[in-house]
Chain A
Amino acid sequence: MVLQSLIDERSYEPIAGALLHRIVRFSRALREAGIDANPGRVADLATALPLIDLSRRDDFYYTCRTTLLARNDQREAFDAIFAYYWPPIRVAPDEEQEGGSGSPGEDQSAEPGEEGAPGEPQTISKVFTSTKQDAESADQDDQNEQKQGASTARTSYSADESLRDKNFGEFTDNELDQARRLMEELQHKMARRLTRRTSPSRIGRTFDLRRTVRRAFTTHGETLTFARKERKIKPRPLVLICDVSGSMERYTRALLHFLHTVSHATGSNVETFVFATRLTRVTPSLKRRRVDEALDRVSEDVTDWSGGTRTGEALSHFNRQWGRRVLGRGAIALIISDGWDRGDALLLGREMARLRRTSYRLFWLNPLLGSPGYRPLTRGMQAALPHLDEFLPAHNLKALEELVEKLARLPIRRAPDRRGNPKIQAMFKKG
C-alpha cells in the first residue's frame, strides 16, 4: 500500500511512515545478525528508494542489498532477514540457489554418526564450565592457596615457574586465570615483517628525495642535510588453525585462551580457525575483548565440538575458501593438533603441501610432543611432517613461550629462507 502511494505521487519526497518504520526495523534486525547496516547506510537506502521503481520487488531488493550489505558471506543471512520483512520475496533467478543451499540447520544434521563422535553432541557450555574433576582440584587448590596465603608475594615468582611447566590438561580454572596473565606477556613478541611502505628515518639506507628537497626550502634552496627513509616493519599476519576434536579436549580450554590473547596482541593481524570434522572461522568472535564473552561466542560458532577429526578435509576447506584471503603478506600458518586423524591421510599430505607453498612458514604444535616418549607415528602426523618448518610441543606455558620466541626470531625479510628442519626429517624417517 505504502509502496503504491509512493509510486503514484512519483515524488522525490523522502520516504516516510510505515515503509520507513519497517526499513528501520529491518536494519535493526540486520545489525543484530552482525550485518553492518549502520544508520549511514540506512540513510543511503532512504535516499535511494524514491529513485527506483518500487513496484519492482527485485529492484527494491537489490537497492537494499547494495546499500546495506557489504560482505558477500553475509548474503544468506541478509536474504533470510529480507524474506522475513518482505515476505513474498522473489529474488532474481540466478540468485535463488544461494539462499536455498546449505541452511545452517541442514549442515548440523548432515554430520553422520559414523565419525565415532561421543554419544551425544557435546554442548559447548560443557567444555567451558569446568568438569567435576576440575571443580574438585580447584577446591584443593583453594586450600593450598589458603595455606600459602601469607607468603604469596614472596613465592609468586616460583608459583609462576611451576605453572609454566604444568600440563594444560591438568589446569584448574584458577590456574587458567593466572596463566592468562603470563600469556599476555607474550603478546609483545610476535613475528614481524618488512613492508613495502617506507617511513622517514634518520639511519635508513634509502635516500628520500622528496623530503630532502622540501627541507632545502628552509635553507634557500641549499641542500644541507639529506633525508633518509626505510621500510616500515609490521607484525606478520598469523593464521591459527586449532583442532578442537574430542582427543584435544583436555587442552582446548587453555589453547582457546591462548588464541584469544594472541588475537589481541597490539597491531597484530591474526586469523583464527578451529576444526574437528569441519572448519569454522572464529576470528570475529575472538575479537571480543572480554575472554568469557569471546569464548561463549566461539562455542556458539562451532557445531562439531569434540567430534572426530578430519584434518585433511578441514585444511582442504581452508585452502580453498580462505587460503588466498588470509595467507597473503608473508603469513605464518600454525596448526595446533595432536595428529589423531580419522580422515584421509593422503589428502592431508596434499593439503599440507599446498599450505606450505602458500605460507611464509608452516608450524605444527602438538600437545602430545610434550609427553616423554611420544613419537609422531600416527598416519596423519606422518603425512604432515615432511611439509613442516617447525614441529613444536604445546602442552604448557613454557612450550607456548618457546613458540613465541621462535616466531620473534624469524627473519623480517620477504624471501622465505627455508632449509629442511633436520629434527623433523629424523622423526619422519623413523616412521
Chain B
Amino acid sequence: MTTSTNGSALQAPPALDSVDAILRALDTQRYVADRGLATSIYLSLKLPKPLLLEGEAGVGKTEIAKALSAITQAPLIRLQCYEGLDISHAVYEWDYSRQMLHIRLLEATGAAREAKAHDIFGPNFLVKRPLLQAIEATASGRPPVLLIDELDRADDEFDAFLLEILSDWQITIPEIGTVKADTPPIVVLTSNRTRELHDALKRRCLYHWIDYPSLEKEMQIVATKVPDAPSRLARQVCQFIQGIRRHDLWKIPGVAETLDWTSALVALGVAELSQPEVLSTLGCILKHQDDVQRLRSGLYQELLTDVVESAGVPESGVVVSDTTAR
C-alpha cells in the first residue's frame, strides 16, 4: 500500500499543486495526514509562508518536516531550540581555535606577511549553523526544508531575531558580506506551547493545530508504521489509547506512544490486550507514576472491557466515527 521510498527517490519530485496532491505525496511517505493539515502545507508551499505547527507532544509535528523533505527531495536542516540559543549557535560562528592555529602556522613558516586578513576570516574558518546553512542551500535551486523545532524552548529574544530572518531571508556577516536566499526555504516551526510565541512571529506564519487522530486515522497510522502488527491487536491498541485520552491523566499518550506500544507488544509476541504481560508494558504509553498507578488500580480493567466488548462486534462495529477523538 505504500510506495517504497527508494523507488520515489529516483523519480522527479511530484508536482504539489493541489491539496489532494499533498495528501497523496504524504501518503507515499507513510504520513497519514488529515485534510486540514494538508491544506495548510499546500498553502505554505504555495504562498510561500512558514508553517507553524502546534499540538500535544507526539502527534507528529516534527515528522511533517521530515516527510516534506523526502517529498521535495530537498535536504532537511534542523534547528533544535533551547533556552539561551543565540546567533553563534543558530546562524554562524568563527572557528577561533583553528584561526589561532593558522596564524601560528603562518608565523612559523614566515608566510604571515603574504597572508591577508580575509584568508583568516574566510569561508574556511566559518562554522555554519542551521539558519545560514538553510539560506546557502537555496542556491542549489531546490529550497531546503528548514525545521525550527520546539521554538517555545528558545527565549523571546530569539523570536525577535527569527522574525527578521523569516521576512528578509538574508544574513550579514561583517567579515564576508551579505548572504541572501534566492528563494526562501520551506520552513516548518513547531511549538509545544510551554511559552506563548510572539504575536508578530505568528503573524508571519500559517498556523495549524495538530490534534490527536481519530480512531480510524490512528489505526491507519499504526498499519502503515508497524506493518507487522496483527490487525486485531492494532485495533485493540488504538481503541485502548483513544479510551485513555478521554481520561484525565497527567500525560496523555500521543501517537508516538501508540506506535512504541504496538511495536513492543509485537516484539513480545502478544496477540491480545487482555494477556497479563501487557501490564508490564504500560511504561511505553504512560510516563507518570501517578498515571501508571491509576491505570493499575481499576482503570486498566475498565478500558480493557470496553475494548474487548467492542472488538467482539464484527468489523463494522469498530468504526466509531471520527467524533470520538479527543
Contacts and interface: CB of A to CB of B under 8 A. Distances in A.
Real complex partners, A and B?
Answer: yes
Contacts, number: 116
Contacts of A112: none
Interface string A82-121: 0000000000111111000000000000000000000000
B94 interface: yes
A134 interface: no
B123 interface: no
A59 B207 contact: no
B309 interface: no
Interface string A36-65: 101011001001100111000011001101
Nearest to B38: A62
Given A94-B214, A94-B325, A70 B19 contact: no
B270 interface: no
Interface in B29-64: 34-36, 39-40, 42-43, 46-47, 49, 52, 54
B203 A94 contact: no
Contacts of A423: none
A58 B49 contact: no
A332 to B, nearest CB: 16
Contacts of B19: 52-53, 59
Contacts of A147: none
Interface stretch (B7-15, B194-202, B299-307): B194-202
Contacts of B82: 196
A210 B35 contact: no
A178 interface: no
A131 B83 CA distance: 49
Contact of A36 (B43, B199, B209): B199
Interface residues of A, number: 42
B193 A325 contact: yes
A213 B202 CA distance: 36
A47 B18 contact: no
Nearest to A350: B290
A72 B54 contact: yes
Contact of A53 (B18, B157, B192, B205): B18
Nearest to B46: A51
A69 B43 contact: no
Contact of B43 (A67, A92, A213): A67
A94 B322 contact: yes
B93 A325 contact: no
Contacts of A213: 94, 96, 99
B194 A324 contact: yes
A97 B323 contact: yes
Interface in A262-317: 316
B208 interface: yes
Q: Majority SS of interface residues in chain A?
A: helix
Contact of B203 (A41, A58, A196, A197): A41
A195 B155 contact: yes
Contacts of B42: 51-52
A328 interface: yes
B128 to A, nearest CB: 16
A195 B86 CA distance: 12
Contacts of B196: 325
A67 B47 CA distance: 11
Given A67-B206, A325-B195, A94 B34 contact: yes
A24 B29 CA distance: 38
Nearest to A213: B96
Given A40-B203, A94-B323, A96-B323, A52 B39 contact: yes
B36 A65 contact: yes
Contacts of A47: 47
B47 A44 contact: yes
B54 A94 contact: no
Contacts of A75: 209
Contact of B35 (A92, A316, A325): A92
Nearest to B217: A94
B46 A48 contact: yes
Nearest to A47: B47
A95 B86 contact: no
Contacts of A325: 193-196
Contacts of B157: 197
Contacts of B283: none
Contacts of A195: 83-84, 155
B88 interface: yes
15 contacts: A36-B199, A36-B203, A48-B47, A52-B43, A59-B39, A62-B35, A72-B209, A92-B34, A94-B217, A97-B323, A97-B325, A197-B86, A213-B94, A324-B192, A328-B194
Given A52-B42, A59-B39, A62-B35, 11 more contacts: A41-B203, A52-B19, A53-B19, A58-B36, A62-B36, A70-B199, A70-B205, A94-B325, A210-B93, A320-B250, A324-B192
